[in-house]
Amino acid sequence: MKFEVKYRDAAGRIGVLKIKNKKIETPVLFPVVHPREGAESIKRYSQVVITNSYLIYKNEELREKAIKQGIHKLLNFDGVVFTDSGSYQLYEYGDVEISNREILEFQNRIGVDIGVILDVPTEPNASYDKALRDVETTIERALEAKNIKKNFACIATVQGARHLRLRAYSARKLGELNFEFYAIGGVVPLMENYEFSTLVKIILQSKKYLPIEKPVHLFGAGHPMLFPLAVSLGIDTFDSAAYILYAKEDRYITPYGTLKLSDIKEFPCLCEVCLSYKPSEVRSMDKKERTNILAKHNLLVSIQEINRVKQAIYENKLLELVESRARAHPSLLEALRIFYNSNYLRKLDPITKKSAFFYSGEESLRRPEVKEHLRRIKNIESSERLVVLADRGKPFYDFYKVGSSKKCRFVIASGVFGIIPIEVEEVYPLNQHEAPRILDKAQRKFMEIAVKNYSKLYKEVLIDDALNIKLEGAEYIDYTDIEKDFDMGFKLRAIADYIYGSGAGKILFKKPRAVFSRTGRIRYAYDGDVLIGTIRASDGFLTLSIEGAKRLIKAERNVVFVGERAKETIKNRSVVYNRDVLSCSSEIKPYHEVIVADEEKNLLGVGKTILSSLEMLKFKHGIAVKIRHKNKEYLERNLIF
């Protein structure tokens, strides 16, 4: 099995799983099918299914058929077949008539694509001791599974009930066993009770200790209202029996909650079911037909939500989707708050995104982009005095016609980012954000705290009267009285510091010079006659030229060090593969601008990452960096003997 990641957003990923010559894209939902019924009716919508190998094993007729024909023929399905092991029956009924070895060998024999060890799910409210025993048994079985020859991708499941220390222990121990695929289990009751915040804590803790380069399945999370949140935490696959179980109870699934069929006057969906029937018509069907019809709708909306999540990852809009879904139920909102209060996304969320940052409420102030911004403004060289201005419309420069200099720093007080130094206002996410023009209370408070904290770095502070921020020792000014000042060199250095870390500006620019586009924006950044880089129109990033990179490499900022083999792929394919990454600066995030060098610090090229530093060091497959400019001179010299 191979797993590679193509796109990233938050901790979410679009990946490709290759299993036995079959290729599937993640995130993906495995619809549950009954082994007796097969997957005939599902083929049209899904290339993957999950069924239960224990149920097959227990039934003599199914077992003989599966052994003789294989699981794919049994289900009449040639896509990816994932089978569960009977663990859930173990949980429901306390016992199963099969051993770990037997079920693993059986899954092997019937030719499943993805299988599971016989893990021991623990009831969430179980005591620590009980949960520990189940975790230990699960680890022993995982260890045993390593020595059973298997021709399928084998999953080991993290357990530990709601005891987070046990989740960590379980994830770490199973992680060390180097399975191809992992799962988080024992969470179904939490989802049934809408205990989403506990679920988030469990996922956070498990993901933290599981190998980042492995796919992770979330067992039993079949309701689409959870998909955006779970994917943003790094879950790759789901299974759903929910679509049938809900249908059996006349419940109609939507991405924002569940409706009772008896309450529906109009279907809020236009899938083939909802287009063909009126709610009253479905109500009057006999039980079997009604269940089938509802199950079909439930499955289609679930798959549709997975597609929506994928599209959100492509557009870097995943957190916007998560925030909008969080409004569907207070328990989801609580879960979102737990998620944002953790530091989990700090090193994982992309440094730049394809779409604007949308403010959706006070939770947005806890987003990783905001925290990251407040860290990165500390990288910019300081000035003698600080002038804090009100937001009177973007771009700020066009309104105020001032820029920061060694003497004076101009910043805008912002209800989203706290402080926006005017010289970096064009850099993502500062320009590319949208928020209501009327601040809510949380924004107002956040802005005041940010201004106060930032002001501590300055002896002399001038504050725009209009802001109405009280600060001891500060002077209050009318913005029309501000001294007009502008220093292009200071601006270029600030942009470099903001993107590449403190000191980068000084290394790159001694005699800074800007060349403007027709629209009046900086296009090229020079040092004297040397082109240092280009300011990218989409996100204001300074992308380095080869000359710029040669200067920055000495400071080891945003450098990816690669092995010999990478020289060939850079030259011929303009990419660096993860397997060739030897080490890299820890601050590298997805879509960062990086410098690629060999072990002797010779520059090979510059480009953009797909993954964070944590990930590129671990993934064995896939692309780490897409190269924009190659150091041709060095590469040619080095490849011809």
What is the number of alpha carbons within 13 Å of residue 140 lying toward its C-beta?
A: 9
Q: If contact means CB under 5 to 8 A according to the sort of partner, which of ligand GUN, Zn ion, none does residue 297 touch?
A: Zn ion
- Min dist. Cβ of residue 324 to ligand GUN (A): 28
The DSSP 8-state label assigned to residue 162 in this structure reads: T
Minimum Å gap between C-beta 152 and Zn ion is 34
CA separation for the pair 30, 45 (Å, rounded): 11
Binding mask 106-125 for ligand GUN (x = CB under 6 A): ----------x--x-x----
CB 49 within 8 A of CB 140: no
Residue written as token pair 């995982």: 142
The nearer residue to Zn ion, 260 or 392, going by C-beta atoms, is: 260
Q: Which residue is nearest to ligand GUN (CB)?
A: 185
CA–CA gap between residue 184 and residue 200 (Å, rounded): 11
CB of 161 to Zn ion, least distance (A): 36
**Rg over CA atoms, the chain:** 28
- Give, in order, the Cα–Cα distances in Å from 15 to each of 18, 82, 210, 313, 618: 10, 17, 17, 11, 15
Only segment of 81-89, 172-180, 244-252, 316-324 that touches ligand GUN (CB under 6 A): 81-89
The residue among 92 and 568 lying less far from ligand GUN, judged by its C-beta, is 92
For ligand GUN, what does the binding mask look like between residues 377 and 416, x meaning CB under 6 A?
----------------------------------------
Distance CA 430, CA 421 (A): 9
Is 485 part of the annotated catalytic residue set? no
Backbone angles phi, psi at 420, to 5 degrees: -120, 105
* Interatomic CA distance for residues 170 and 178, integer angstroms: 13
Closest CB to Zn ion among 202 and 303? 303
Residue listed under structure tokens 């900022």? 557
Q: What are phi and psi of 37, to 5 degrees?
A: -85, -25
Return the DSSP state at 234: T
Q: Does 540 bind ligand GUN (CB under 6 A)?
A: no
Residue 88 touching ligand GUN (CB under 6 A): yes
169 binds ligand GUN per the rule CB under 6 A? no
Cα 233 to Cα 332: distance, rounded to the nearest angstrom = 14
Stretch that binds ligand GUN, among 82-90, 206-214, 285-293, 357-365 (CB under 6 A): 82-90
**Choosing among Zn ion, ligand GUN, none, which partner's interface includes residue 271 (Cβ < 5 to 8 Å by kind)?**
Zn ion
Q: Which does 188 bind (CB under 5 to 8 A by kind): ligand GUN, Zn ion, none?
A: ligand GUN
Residue nearer to Zn ion on the CB measure, 274 or 535 = 274
* Alpha carbons 100 and 443: distance in angstroms, whole number: 54
Rounded CA separation 492/487 (Å)? 9
Asked if 31 touches ligand GUN (CB under 6 A), the answer is no
Question: How far apart are CB 189 and ligand GUN at their closest, in Å?
Answer: 9
Question: In DSSP terms, which residues pair with 251 in a beta bridge?
Answer: 260
Taking the least distance from each CB to ligand GUN, the nearer of 84 and 323 is: 84
Judged by CB under 6 A, does residue 82 bind ligand GUN? no
Identify residues 439-498 at the interface with ligand GUN (CB under 6 A): none
Q: Is 220 in the site for ligand GUN (CB under 6 A)?
A: yes
> Taking the complex as a whole, how short is the minimal distance between the CB of residue 598 and ligand GUN, in angstroms?
45
CB of 530 to ligand GUN, least distance (A): 59
86: left (phi over 0), alpha (psi -120 to 50) or beta: left
Instruction: Give the interface segment with ligand GUN, choosing from 183-191, 250-258, 278-286, 294-302 (CB under 6 A).
Output: 183-191
Catalytic-role residue among 9, 78, 84, 598: 84
Is residue 222 involved in binding ligand GUN (CB under 6 A)?
Answer: no
Q: What CA–CA distances, in Å, run from 87 to 30, 117, 128, 157, 595?
A: 17, 8, 20, 10, 48
Q: Which lies closer to Zn ion via its Cβ, residue 242 or residue 469?
A: 242
Shortest gap between Cβ of 332 and ligand GUN (angstroms)? 20
Interface with ligand GUN includes 157 (CB under 6 A)?
yes
Candidate residues 27, 35, 111, 186; the one interacting with ligand GUN per rule CB under 6 A: 186
- Alpha carbon of 93 to those of 58, 64, 88, 96, 97: distances in Å? 14, 25, 8, 8, 11
Taking the C-alpha atoms of residue 591 and residue 589, their distance in angstroms, rounded to an integer, is: 6
Report the partner that residue 156 touches, choosing among ligand GUN, Zn ion, none (CB closer than 5 to 8 A by kind): none
CA distance from start to end of the chain = 37
Q: Which is nearer to ligand GUN, 88 or 541 (CB)?
A: 88
Residue 575 and residue 625 in contact, taking contact as beta carbons nearer than 8 Å: yes
Shortest separation between residue 164's beta carbon and ligand GUN, angstroms: 16
Q: Which two tokens stand for residue 264?
A: 């529906």
* Residue 274 contact among ligand GUN, Zn ion, none, beta carbon within 5 to 8 Å by kind: Zn ion
| Whole-number Å distance between alpha carbons of 557 and 504 | 8
Task: Give 218's contacts (C-beta < 8 A, 6+ positions apart).
Answer: 183, 184, 187, 203, 230, 235, 237, 238
CB atoms under 10 Å from CB of 326, counted, come to: 25
Residue 240 within binding range of ligand GUN, rule CB under 6 A: no
Min. distance of Cβ 403 from ligand GUN in angstroms? 58
By CB under 6 A, tell whether 185 contacts ligand GUN. Answer: yes
Position 85 contacts ligand GUN (CB under 6 A)? yes
Query: What does 84 bind: ligand GUN, Zn ion, none (CB cut-off 5 to 8 Å by kind)?
Result: ligand GUN
DSSP summary character for residue 539: T
Binding site for Zn ion (CB under 5 A): 269, 271, 273-274, 297
Contact 26, 47 (CB under 8 A): no
| Contact flag: residue 87 with ligand GUN (CB under 6 A) | yes
Figure out which of the listed residues 84, 369, 487, 497 binds ligand GUN, where binding follows CB under 6 A: 84
Provide the minimum distance between the beta carbon of 273 and Zn ion in the complex, in angstroms, as a whole number: 5
Residues 6+ positions from 181 with CB-CB distance below 8 Å: 1, 114, 153, 154, 155, 156, 214, 215, 216, 217
Residue 194 CB, nearest approach to ligand GUN (Å): 17
Q: Is 188 in the site for ligand GUN (CB under 6 A)?
A: yes
Task: Identify which of residues 118 and 611 has a Cβ nearer to ligand GUN in the complex.
Answer: 118
Cβ neighbour number for residue 79 with a 10 Å cutoff: 18
Contact 13, 5 (CB under 8 A): yes
Residues noted as catalytic: 84
Q: Where do contacts with ligand GUN occur on this chain (CB under 6 A)?
A: 84-85, 87-88, 116, 119, 121, 157, 185-186, 188, 219-220
